[in-house]
Chain A
């Protein structure tokens, strides 16, 4: 396959006696939509935080966009976009002001920030909402805006932490269209989700249970491997023995 964007070898994170992420290894290729599945508490967010330079690994190695996760966190941050589980844009700023803020943060000049704002607003069909305060937007729109802002600087990799939880089916569909479009443009997407139908949209899927990656392949091959009819079943088979976290059905 093509070039490796994220490479993880034996990555581990412990908090005291608790092993949040246990010795995981995988590669993610350029332009891939990499689904990162797991029950609540399986360690997805912890792993993602290590990859995006928010958290130091306890041991193991990882590189993102060619930079080391333990030593070059700040370099990684220039090349990635990150959309947190919690909505993290500024509520008292308008849609336009938020885009402009993050464009500036990622070093776009005033002129190109203005151009990029127009582009993103057009893509989101948000042009009429430019001067709306972000707190007045419905949840689905907020999530789409967060994703657009995570890609404002056209990063190599975008990390999405449960981007569609609580979003209605129509908006989820639009959201995935945006993800596809970004992936076609060469951006690698690293996404965690609870929705098994979304797992089918991913190029490859990994399933984490109790801090470990228990399965990693395309959804078709995973279904064959586990002799299952749907990803849902695959997930249930794997997560049945989970010691921590409740099962998300």
Chain B
């Protein structure tokens, strides 16, 4: 067997994308996708901590049933803003705009994304949307829930709905432009030899994500625009007082916002495919099934929005169709989980931090996905919708799924991004803490939800307190666990061990250039002659089902 040799490292770090230019201007006017990724990394971390602060306030308030810490108006704003910040300003851009931005050109052997200026523009748009939203929060906040249901948002709420909506509307264009850039890049910029089926699965999942971004985001943009007009000018199609239909808003909103969940989790699935394959030194079992299941999720994801409206006097027949399709969309996710698990069979697994996150992801995503079936099933959804069961379910997907993938990916590519190693011991420790804290936070909420505790309640009947106390305890552990990586990542930028070009000894294209990479990524355009995750020569490949005894390991 041939070991993977690390690519020869030039001893003194040469000119790379970080030290190629200095000064604030060189960052703010950069067209380098890697620098833009870092700009995004900084900004989404900022928003993540604001959102986390709100989460902390929510959990503290719910420690006691009386609702004595915050006033109900404040609490309503806090959970609304937690949702808006976390979803629109952290989770949706998290993996695509940082890891995707940094890695997509490197993984296909290109010098940059197809439209570098549009890439920078999308960061500025994101920032503008963020600033407007922060302004709305500081000016008085918004209390509609992140779902903005009409007619509460158009007519009854006395908060900064229009300003927040404008922030989200603008931010949407950042997402559209990112998705557009990715699709064009993957189509037109692949290096010679980099065929579609040689692409790492990270790229397939980002391709699927980008499809959702460009198809879904414009719909929510126009919806929020119409909502703002309705609120300001009293022209309307949603408020029944103006002859409109409030449920139309829910249809339009969920047409985007359900697929938006896949915007958050698909990139994470891409990261997990990388981690599973690379840390077990094995090609992904059933590569094409994993690749196409991403596309299947993107397509089916657009056909299931109606499962948010099972209790909204939607026709029972529409309900049945949406329920059926919601079950159907679970299948591609299941296929991924089974394939990841099968990849580990007869592999060589290391216990590095990214792998711990990947294993955690599979467990948590399985729980999150399976509990989604409770909500796809019509009868149980009637009882469970708008309870804490839903809250627990989507946190398992978004935090247990998307955030775990993001953290795993960040650790995995950190040597490439920063040129430094993170402290491995602390990494494993915090991964463990986060896993435990997360489960303690959200497992009890499933039970509280089935017992009937409604979401968005500022005070609640005392019999639910035990679950809330457990949740708050878990959230403190989770919050503590999140602080550790934040600290050591910053620490490692200065004091971490210098990373080699290929510290994990992997075959991927991004590892075949120096760490950190030069501005142009590769000295010369690479020619790809290998398959994805090719650790050993192809002729030694074993086919399950057509078992070849001569390949059996002795």
A, B in one complex? no
- B residues sitting closer than 8 Å to A (CB atoms) are none
- A residues sitting closer than 8 Å to B (CB atoms) are none
